[in-house]
Amino acid sequence: MNIVDRFLKYVSFHTTSDENTNMTPSTPGQMEFAQYLADELKQIGMTEVSLDRNGYIMATLPANEEGHPVVGFIAHMDTAPDASGKNVQPRIVKAYDGKDIVLNEAENIILETAKYPEILHYQGQDIIVTNGKTLLGADDKAGIAEIVTAIEYLIEHPEIKHGKIRVGFTPDEEIGQGADHFDVQAFGCDFAYTMDGGAVGELEYENFNAAGCKIHIHGTNVHPGSAYHKMVNSMRIGYQLAVMLPRWETPEHTQGYEGFYHLIGMSGTVEETTLSYIIRDHDRARFESRKREMEHLVRKVNREYGEGTAEIEIRDQYYNMREKIEPVMHIIDLAKEAMLAVGVEPKVKPIRGGTDGARLSFEGLPCPNIFAGGENFHSRYEYLPIPSLEAAMKVILEIVKK
């Protein structure tokens, strides 16, 4: 199967993850997809194919030449809950002409070049887009398609000499749980790469330190006609707390190495309100300071409204992998050389996010991140230039050769 057809098949699986189910994988569609992938890996000729009860896949392509390190390639099966991943209907825009792309004429959903000027870099290329109602799923089904296609090519071309190669596919990366049950020792690699970056050329070994934060606020409901000095409106307290955070330290006002507080969910009634945040910063000290600030605001609310009015839960999700990659920078040099060999200019940049590789690096598996090729991830405006998809697959082959 060619790489485009493989990718289009993969996005037909509904694999949106859900942090509220307390299951692994968090949604049944991920296990359905995992079973399909495990069967496919066996069919193309991989060995030691395993699928555990948590939805983690591992497989081996044995070495055909001795003396090489064991290298791994990893991608995740879930898609982000930020946009619907159900009933994805991709289409290919042939030889993109540089104009706005009408994704859905009936609902007037348009991929506008004024809002997304990066797409102009791909004029003349075939581009896979959505119908404007869902995300596409290139994050990270493009990565899976690249890995599987590269392995299939190596199996079909035994004249290409290589060491042992391991493949790993994980669930629930998008909700920060992708490495929760990943057995690094069983994977058995000297180093690995996640194929989970964005635009062509991206190579990343710095990422955010990340935490999830939930604030629960308890109020008191009384009939509004007799509420004087009795009602405590938890929603108003939640709003008050939210606006105490620095206005400009949000995703829409930060870039590069700048961190942020991001309100990702708010629900409530007069009696009970929950605020859900993610906290991000590349610098570990500033990251810890941000967590302390959230705790300070909760204490401030409790001083004003009474102890126990607000409760906070903070859970670290992953840390900046840079400190684990710097001692083995030859694996970054290897990826750069592989990109240059296939005509791709490496773009080393910090990830304003995280990957499974960040946590795996702290568990003893150095694991930087290579581009998967898509743009506008987590959005109905997501798209994937086909040459970028093909280039990432070629980079995998070059890493193996080198």
> For residue 344, which of 355, 353, 352, 336 has the smallest C-alpha distance?
336
For residue 293, what are the CA distances in angstroms to 251, 288, 298, 316, 318? Answer: 17, 9, 9, 15, 19
Tokens of 108: 């007037």
Nearest-angstrom CA–CA distance, 128 and 388: 11
173 catalytically annotated: yes
Nearest-angstrom CA–CA distance, 393 and 95: 21
Pairing of strands 57-61, 47-51: antiparallel
Question: What DSSP state is assigned to residue 122?
Answer: G
> For residue 207, which of 197, 195, 199, 216 has the smallest C-alpha distance?
197
Tokens of 96: 């993109």
252 catalytically annotated: no
Let me know: does 382 contact 375? Beta carbons within 8 Å. yes
Let me know: does 30 contact 61? Beta carbons within 8 Å. no
Give, for 145, the enclosing helix (H) or strand (E): helix 138-156
HSE-CB for 357 with a 13 A CA cutoff: 30
Query: Active-site residue among 40, 78, 196, 398?
Result: 78
* Other Cβ atoms closer than 10 A to 188: 15
3-state secondary structure of 397: helix
Nearest-angstrom CA–CA distance, 97 and 260: 37
Q: Helix, strand, coil % (nearest 5) of the chain? A: 35, 25, 40
For residue 253, what are the CA distances in angstroms to 191, 276, 292? Answer: 35, 19, 21
Query: In Å, how far from its chain's centre is CA 119?
Result: 21
Nearest-angstrom CA–CA distance, 216 and 119: 41
Query: Active-site residue among 139, 172, 173, 196?
Result: 173
- Residues annotated catalytic, as ranges: 78, 173
